Structure 1
Amino acid sequence: MNMPINPSAHPDAALEQARFNMIEQQIRPWEVYDGQTLDALGRVRREDFVPPAYRSLAFMDIQIPLRGNAEEALRKGECMLSPKVEARLMQDLLITRNDRVLEIGAGSGFMAALLAQVADQVVSLEIEPELAQMALDNLRRAGVRNAAVRVADGSSLIPDGPFDVILLSGSVASVPQELLALLRDGGRLAAIVGEEPMMRATIVRRQGERFETIQPWDTVAPRLRNFPEPSAFRF
């Protein structure tokens, strides 16, 4: 007879089962079938990128606050996106081993760690110094050597381009045109665009001087700070 796993006796086995369940029950049902994306999710230890107070929530289908008061952190966008949203964004970007990637919003560093599994180089910007240090420490502990974290406001201070891939790990009111200018020919940008209660995952591909846009799925994510908002005035 098979006996249930006792997490205290087999902590690694319990964690691996939770990771497996996250992939099979949350991520695959969200139409994430890409092998390299699923492999990265299996390799990167999500629980090591979650603040200790929330480690028990590491594999749940929720946004995880990264510091201080949970409600305030979520309001400020200081959180990890849910696993299925991270996975679907990564899959839709069609990242290759030669790609140079820019991420806006490092958070805990988890998304940068995933991106680093499949790309050549990752540059991740974080506006909050405390979170940037958290991300950097987490990436170092995880042995990720091809991802850099910089303290910077991604709405205005952008490192030298061009990039093959740009990912906004949060929502914006509209696709930032200045970021599109940093894409190489054939490059892709992913952002969550719109207003609550419904936003659209938006994937933009550069083809020469043209930009092709698709919005394949809906979700909601906290705002990235300092990006333009539509005027509240109505005429």
Structure 2
Amino acid sequence: MLNFQKARDRMVELQLASRGIRDPRVLEAMGKVPRHQFVDEALQDQAYNDYPLPIGEKQTISQPYIVALMTETLELKGNEKVLEIGTGSGYQAAILAELADRVFTIERNPSLAYRANQILKKLGYKNIVTRVSDGTLGWPDEAPFDGILVTAGTPKIPQPLIDQLAMNGRLVVPVGDHLSQELVLVERTREGIRKTNLGGVRFVDLIGKWAWPE
């Protein structure tokens, strides 16, 4: 049987630290959260490899490096309120929960949301709230958020998410077409909204009122 802790340690060293992930808190969280618990049993031996894996409903769990990169970009210190759009397997929410005070996560697919919720509960996370709805609308009654992470590709940045960003807040979102996107960092500053391009990525489509149609 695979030693999952050793596999996690190797993942952190070879896929993350060696590729430029520097935040010690992010590396520690990635080394702690049991990624294999978020995929089907048949795929658990592949959970710490450097590629996405299917989780059903035509969705995937992102490759570890991308999870770490997007998380590091939020620059979390521990007292933040974070919104995640696209719960998927629940893995990214668990990573965020290790690094922020509270995590609100939205999933449009009820069966994925239910499964993620069960796993997160089993692992003992008490600072994650899940909701089934259109993630492109954000979570207005809990806004503003210090960090917002979008784990699906959109043709444009949903305006509600920009609106729900706190002062000095950071939003990370893949923007582009169906085949490839650019990872964009959006920051709300005293001078206004600032956008920075972080390079090419490939995500499943973000479906919703402010993204791709159903």
Task: Please state which band the TM-score falls in when normalised by the shorter chain.
Answer: over 0.9
Quote how far apart the aligned CAs of 1:166 are: 0.6
Quote the residue 2:91 is aligned against.
110
Q: Which digits, 9 at most, give the CA deviation of each residue in 1:15-48, with x for residues without a partner?
A: 1221112112212233111100000001111111
Correspondence for 2:195: 213
2:27 maps to 38
**TM-score, L = length of structure 1:** 0.84
Match of 2:165 in 1: 183
> Contact 2:185 / 2:196 at 8 angstroms: preserved in 1?
yes
State the alpha-carbon separation in 1 of the partners of residues 78 and 138 from structure 2: 26
Match of 2:116 among 129, 135, 139: 135
CA distance in 1 between partners of 2:166 and 2:178 (Å): 31
What pairs up with 1:150-189 in 2 under 5 angstroms? 150-156=131-137, 158-160=139-141, 161-189=143-171
Aligned-pair distance for 1:198? 3.9
CA distance in 2, matches of 1:24, 1:157: 34
Q: What corresponds to 2:76 in structure 1? A: 95
Aligned residues, how many? 211
CA displacement at 1:110 relative to structure 2? 0.6
Instruction: Report the residue type matching 2:16 in the other structure.
Output: I
Q: Which has the larger radius of gyration?
A: 1
The secondary structure found in structure 2 opposite 1:59 is coil
**CA separation of 1:159 and 1:54: change in aligned 2, threshold 3 A:** farther
| 2:106 pairs with 1:149 | no
Task: Specify every segment of 5 or more residues in structure 2 that has no aligned partner in the other structure, as ranges.
Answer: none
Contact kept, 8 Å, 2:61 with 2:88, in 1: the verdict is: yes
Match of 1:202 among 184, 205, 208: 184
For residues 120 and 85 of structure 1, what CA distance do their matches in structure 2 show?
A: 22
Q: Taking structure 1 as reference, are residues 128 and 197 closer, same or farther at Cα in structure 2, changes over 3 Å only? A: closer
* 1:91-135 residue CA offsets vs partner (Å, 9 max, x unmatched): 011012111000000011110000000101000001011011111
Contact 2:167 / 2:189 at 8 angstroms: preserved in 1? Answer: yes
Report the alpha carbon displacement of residue 216 of structure 1 after superposing the two structures with TM.
2.0
The offset of 1:140, in angstroms, is 0.7
